[in-house]
Structure 1
């Protein structure tokens, strides 16, 4: 329907503005050292606040989450296929974790502000010094009992396939002796909207952001799959096993 997209913008934009102009300052104010020490039902209050904000953001964009499986508690390396910027918000709606992300995200409006306060570990692509620092921070977080989220493909994809997983990003899990839990993100029924949600050719963050805001309501499945133990065979085997499980979940 030609009028469907404009009507969705008309309906969702006011909610988005309230969520950003009112909800975001409240969220950022509640992410502080005090709320980090308050635990409710086994979850830190600041983490619960970020999950709540992310859940509302996902709903404003018309996504209805269907979770399969359970995220592990404590120190875990979560590894997921990467489709679009909204992946981080989607996963945060289910489980709080500090993501490893490209440094450019810090400059993105709305998402960058939350990411910077949400324990994101930024990496400057092409810099070995930056990568070394990222790996060190990942190990430190895991040893502190906190979760880390990564996209082993290293970048967003076109959504039509799961790319090769870079094994080096699994090294902190081996050093900290924690499991990696694969997470499969399937947009649409059976994953039929992967290429819709993915960045289109020459599409930047803002263009993708507002295009997704006008998309119809659709289900999104978040599959928390069988974890992979830190492998004696090394990081390459961990990467291959995680990828195999995500590919299998995408095809199911």
Structure 2
């Protein structure tokens, strides 16, 4: 089932880049053991989360999520965002990012702990589910559409009360070499709550600098399969680009606000979006062929290749890779409607 709150993406196994450097089986087993130990430690320290407030609580939660990254051998590389990291607790903001992997939410909370708008299924995931539940997530049941307006109201109230809330407005995972459009419904919560929007751009690289889609959680694979693939990678670097915040009132409506946030992410990653190509109607002869003299851009019903400029004069900036915006199967973590 696919609808505005449950988008899909075309990314799958075919999007995965070739194998990068890997670690041996003993190291993989050790990484899983460390991750399980982190979760057990998080459960044991849960009573402290009920007592601690402010920076003390933030430090504990941040330590837990950073330990998850270290247990899987992931290095965090943060660019920008000094003002965000130093902002006082109690200042609400909607934090949005491009969505590639289950590692995304771990990285965001390793940077600065916050609540998340997450699909209800995440609560049952191994490792991550426990941490997300403890973090005070707002859960979204996209199979019960009548509950969604109430969830958006809860989100707006959380923002208004001073919470940082993480949302992935693409609504589903992409491979990272391509990306989806930012849907708009959750941006209305930021407008209603009178809070800024903080875009964050994520990218995965190998130790030699090559961009990789190996950590992505796409297609029909299980979470366990994705965990195993990440645990096998050597020298994985997760780049976090913290973009300037978008102040309340800068955008006139939620669509404009979503567009500003999406543009910030693409700017940080050096990507450009290819606008949808308009199909050109081709006159035909009675035999079905194109009429002589008819302007032919692309055949009727044909789709121009991604990154091309068929009939529209649209290209990409030199050295930039296109960001794909179609929506056709992946693993949504957060959903929102446009």
Work out whether the TM-score is over 0.5: yes
Shift of residue 191, structure 1, vs aligned partner? 6.9
Cα 1:4/1:48, change in 2 over 3 Å: closer
Give the SS at the match of 2:27: helix
TM-score normalized with structure 1 length = 0.89
* Map of 1:199 onto structure 2: 217
Shift of residue 213, structure 1, vs aligned partner? 1.4
Contact 1:28 1:114 in 2 (8 A): no
Are 2:118 and 1:107 equivalent residues in the alignment?
no
Gaps (5+ residues) in structure 2?
1-19, 272-338
**Residues in 2 aligned to 1:28 and 1:208: alpha-carbon distance in whole angstroms:** 27
Are 2:100 and 1:54 equivalent residues in the alignment?
no
**Residues in 2 aligned to 1:3 and 1:237: alpha-carbon distance in whole angstroms:** 43
Summarize deviations over 1:183-220 as a string: whole Å, max 9, x none. 00111166702x21112432111111122112112221
Shift of residue 154, structure 1, vs aligned partner? 0.6
**Residues in 2 aligned to 1:244 and 1:191: alpha-carbon distance in whole angstroms:** 23
**Residues in 2 aligned to 1:169 and 1:213: alpha-carbon distance in whole angstroms:** 33
Cα 1:88/1:5, change in 2 over 3 Å: same
* Map of 1:125 onto structure 2: 142
Q: Which range moved further: 200-209 or 106-115?
A: 200-209
**Residues in 2 aligned to 1:111 and 1:19: alpha-carbon distance in whole angstroms:** 11
Cα 1:29/1:191, change in 2 over 3 Å: farther
Shift of residue 176, structure 1, vs aligned partner? 1.2
Summarize deviations over 1:19-62 as a string: whole Å, max 9, x none. 233x1223323221x213xx3xxx2x223211110001111111
Summarize deviations over 1:50-77 as a string: whole Å, max 9, x none. 1110001111111111111122632111
Cα 1:200/1:176, change in 2 over 3 Å: closer
Shift of residue 128, structure 1, vs aligned partner? 2.6
**Residues in 2 aligned to 1:176 and 1:201: alpha-carbon distance in whole angstroms:** 35
Contact 1:162 1:247 in 2 (8 A): no
Instruction: Specify which of 39, 47, 50 is matched with residue 29 of structure 1.
Output: 47
* Map of 1:236 onto structure 2: 255
Q: 5 Å matches for 1:64-143?
A: 64-70=75-81, 71=84, 73=87, 74-143=91-160
**Residues in 1 aligned to 2:46 and 2:149: alpha-carbon distance in whole angstroms:** 29
Shift of residue 3, structure 1, vs aligned partner? 7.9
Cα 1:3/1:205, change in 2 over 3 Å: closer
- Root-mean-square deviation (Å): 2.1
TM-score normalized with structure 2 length = 0.67
Give the SS at the match of 1:119: coil
* Higher percent of residues as helix: 1
**Residues in 1 aligned to 2:237 and 2:122: alpha-carbon distance in whole angstroms:** 26
Instruction: Specify which of 1, 11, 20 is matched with residue 39 of structure 2.
Output: 20
**Residues in 1 aligned to 2:119 and 2:21: alpha-carbon distance in whole angstroms:** 36
Q: 5 Å matches for 1:219-234?
A: 219-230=237-248, 231-234=250-253
* Map of 1:176 onto structure 2: 193
Contact 1:27 1:53 in 2 (8 A): no
Give the SS at the match of 2:42: helix
Q: 5 Å matches for 1:136-175?
A: 136-175=153-192
Contact 1:191 1:250 in 2 (8 A): no
**Residues in 1 aligned to 2:116 and 2:122: alpha-carbon distance in whole angstroms:** 11
Instruction: Specify which of 241, 245, 252 is matched with residue 264 of structure 2.
Output: 245
